[in-house]
Amino acid sequence: MSTIAPTSRTTLVRRSDRGTYDRAVVNAILDEALICHVGFVLDGQPFVLPTTHARIDERLYVHGSVGSRMLRTLRQGIPVCVTVTLLDGLVLARSAFHHSMNYRSVLILGTAREVQEEAEKRRAFCALVDHVVAGRSTQTRSASPMELKATSVLCLPIEEASAKIRTGPPIDDEEDYALAHWAGVIPLALQAEPPLRDPRLPAGIETPASVARYRRPVP
């Protein structure tokens, strides 16, 4: 079992029993989540923006237009925080105080570098598409040199990171178990509905199995 070394910044202040530095756990959360939230600082103001991501080994990639505020800021090599959260359920306790959520989240701190080498940029580009739908990069027109140039790809090493997980039923104060309030968990899952064909798609083009039977996590 590979473990990520905790730092003072990734050591959980509270509920350390919910934390883990197991790389396999961190990777599984990153791979299941479709989006991440990227935090960076601009003129002293934190910004948090949602975007897609992909993991290759121990590196996380994000991308965007070279003209975007996020990419223009991050390519300068400033501190960044990438957070990924999977919401698994609503935890309803007998007391308002002990209401909670079941979730799996990962926090990665570090400094992103802009990918310069074309081969790595292409690999990241494919990974970003395949992260959304497995195998999709082979079922689309790949990026042209101009499209690659218009896109900035950032790489963040998954070196300073932690995961936090809550599972299971509510934990009420012992005396509250005698109360007559309903308690339990409402499980939540991000579910795919039947795919919508592009209105301009010719009738003869069949829906690939990866799209027709889409689900997370990828089986």
Q: How far apart (Å, rounded) are the C-alpha atoms in residues 182 and 192?
A: 30
Residue 184 touches its own copies, criterion: CB under 8 A: yes
Residue 40 touches its own copies, criterion: CB under 8 A: yes
Q: How far apart (Å, rounded) are the C-alpha atoms in residues 202 and 151?
A: 30
Residue 105 touches its own copies, criterion: CB under 8 A: yes
Which one among 16, 195, 217, 218 touches its own copies, defined by CB under 8 A?
A: 195
Q: How far apart (Å, rounded) are the C-alpha atoms in residues 124 and 115?
A: 9
Which one among 67, 116, 119, 219 touches its own copies, defined by CB under 8 A?
A: 67
Q: Is 156 helix (H, G, I), strand (E, B) or coil?
A: strand
Which pairing describes strands 151-157 and 79-92: parallel, antiparallel, or unpaired?
unpaired
Which one among 135, 189, 217, 218 touches its own copies, defined by CB under 8 A?
A: 189
CA distances from 17 to 65, 88, 147 (A): 40, 18, 45
Query: Using CB under 8 A, which of the segments 22-30, 33-41, 53-61, 112-120 binds its own copies?
Result: 33-41
Which one among 17, 119, 145, 191 touches its own copies, defined by CB under 8 A?
A: 191
Residue 149 touches its own copies, criterion: CB under 8 A: no
